[in-house]
Amino acid sequence: MDSHEFGIMTEAPQKNQRFDLYEPEKYHVIAVDDDILFPFMQDFMILPCFAHTLAQPFEGLVYCGITLIPPTAVREMVWMVSPHPKLAQLTALLKRAVKENKYVIHFGI
């Protein structure tokens, strides 16, 4: 089954730094099945994020790539997913990122 993976970045990405490698162990990711997350993809389109680098603004999650989700968008994302029991693990990760004011990295399918 296809899944999306989310992890908290220990350090904020730098302006010219690129994230092109799949490194789930580096970010201690959690997986969310695409079947569960896909219905939210349209809602996520309002989130100001970045595709692979801070030099590439992107609205929403990069479905088949890497998304850098800034703390401001993480806060908004919490409100979108927290009411849904199947996204409890993602909600917990996002809330932790908000508390620590950290970026979240998303590895698409």
Place of tokens 């099945």: 33
In this structure, is residue 49 part of a structural domain?
A: yes
**Residue 81 is part of a domain; what is its CATH number?**
3.40.1760
In this structure, is residue 97 part of a structural domain?
A: yes
38, amino acid identity: F
DSSP secondary structure letter of residue 85? G
In this structure, is residue 19 part of a structural domain?
A: no
Terminal-residue alpha carbon distance, the chain: 10
In this structure, is residue 59 part of a structural domain?
A: yes
User: How many structural domains are present in the chain?
Assistant: 1
Residues 57-94: tens digit of each pLDDT: 999 999 999 999 999 999 999 999 999 999 999 999 99
Domain coverage including residue 60? 3-14+24-107
Q: Is the pLDDT of residue 1 over 90?
A: no
In this structure, is residue 46 part of a structural domain?
A: yes
